[in-house]
Chain A
Amino acid sequence: METHRHSLRLTAGNGAARAYVRKCEFRIGAPLTFDENDPNLTACDYLLGAAAGELVTGLDRLARRRRLTLDRIEAVLHAELAQPLAALGTVGEQGVPRFVAIRITLYVDTLEDPAGIHALWHDVLCRSPIYQTLRACVAFEPRLELT
């Protein structure tokens, strides 16, 4: 089958971008920030949020379709950025800034059979394009914890 083409349109100005997709739009602040008080979502926030969000919503939706009850899903994501000073253009820094590790743990409250949930999780991973793309270039460790 041919690939599906996914398109966004963006405009930029005043240090931020606005992305338009379908009939939706969202604002993107800096590429990356080290300022805990920066009120704007950065491109890296979106990337990591998308990586986690895909798995969380993917699990929730596939569970519903299979009529499995998940009472609550929470996730925590930790990512490691290598060469962060290179992102700031620091003189003397070697290499390029890149995420070298992404670890995400999903905590799922459920009374369903654990084997069924792990099979569901496996299928979610297989169906998740962001995860499948990123795992090819970064140490991506998704983990499921049943509570």
Chain B
Amino acid sequence: MQPIIVGAVLYDPKVSVIWDIIRDFFEANEVPMDTVFYTNYELQVSALLAGGIEVAWNSPLAWLDAQRRSENGCRAIAMRDTDRDRCSHLIVASDGPIATLADLRGKTVAFGAQDSPQATLIPKEHLLRHGLGETDYVTRRFDLAVGKNGDHIGGELEAFRCLQRQEAAASCLIDLNWNSWTADGTIDPARYRILTTTGRYDHCVFTVRHEFPREREAPFLHALMAMDYANPKHREMMDLEGLKRWEPGRVNGFELLTAACANQQFFAGR
């Protein structure tokens, strides 16, 4: 079997270590895999559509971009259990003046990077659906690692720091970061609270072109699904990847982001 060529975006060189472990796992399961790393999702999507890679580990925004540029010519074949049904929070100071979403009118809201689904695009869509358009609040954006679609937590962290400095009335972050940062002390849950939570959305997804041969897809998915969290040898790898189980890909979790991209004209001119 020829190696399956898998693309991944690196937001940190240490991420390559995870992919080395995954590649070794696939090799041990007699599914040879080669990885190609990219600095940003736009390049990775281009490579996927041009046939340079067969499988792309795509952010949700990259999934939409791949579908947009291929006129729905892609398939979502697998995702982590933790990629399903995520949400984002807008958080505020517990003792501050913001009691409702309407109180954000005229106030500054701190967002992550411009291409972060979880910390910018979806929270803005949420505000819009609750009657707050772009001009109803002041956007303070933290464009860290643009092109990596918010993979880098820096933008969300800087947005929270902005809230801490009282330079914003609210900041946005994905639920996973709220959970870990309130647990590790980065955010004091006694001083900050969740003002509102967005609707559910799906996150990263393994993406292939429609014509990706089923005889290559099947062993790829077989090896992927063979990862077993109950197996101590697999657990470390799965912890690094942030999942307990691989799930089939699904495409019904991108509605919020699709609307966000349309309303914010994210892809205009691209």
Contacts and interface: CB of A to CB of B under 8 A. Distances in A.
Contacts of A36: 14
B20 A35 contact: yes
Contacts of A10: none
A43 interface: no
Contacts of B43: 91-92
A93 B39 contact: yes
Name the residue in A34, A89, A90, A93 with the highest tally of chain B Cβ atoms < 10 Å from its Cβ. Answer: A90
Classify the secondary structure of B's interface with A. mixed
A91 B38 contact: yes
A35 B237 CA distance: 13
B17 A85 contact: no
Contact of B13 (A85, A91, A92): A85
B243 interface: no
A92 B38 contact: yes
A34 B16 contact: yes
B37 A90 contact: yes
Contacts of A34: 13-14, 16-17
A88 B18 CA distance: 13
Interface residues of B, number: 14
Interface in B46-77: 47
A87 B12 CA distance: 12
A91 B52 CA distance: 11
A88 B14 CA distance: 10
A142 interface: no
A92 B16 contact: no
Interface in B78-101: none
A5 to B, nearest CB: 36
Interface string B33-44: 000111110011
A91 B39 CA distance: 6
Contacts of B10: 85, 88, 90
A84 interface: yes
Interface string A93-119: 100000000000000000000000000
A84 B15 CA distance: 12
A85 B17 CA distance: 12
A66 to B, nearest CB: 44
Nearest to B236: A37
Interface in A18-39: 34-36
A84 B36 contact: no
B6 to A, nearest CB: 13
Contacts of A93: 39
B151 to A, nearest CB: 13
A89 B13 CA distance: 11
A100 B193 CA distance: 42
Interface of B: 10, 13-14, 16-17, 20, 36-40, 43-44, 47
The 4 closest A-B pairs by CB, nearest first: A92-B39, A90-B37, A34-B13, A84-B13
29 contacts: A34-B13, A34-B14, A34-B16, A34-B17, A35-B17, A35-B20, A36-B14, A84-B13, A85-B10, A85-B13, A85-B37, A85-B39, A87-B13, A88-B16, A88-B37, A89-B37, A90-B37, A90-B38, A90-B39, A91-B36, A91-B38, A91-B39, A91-B43, A91-B44, A91-B47, A92-B38, A92-B39, A92-B43, A93-B39
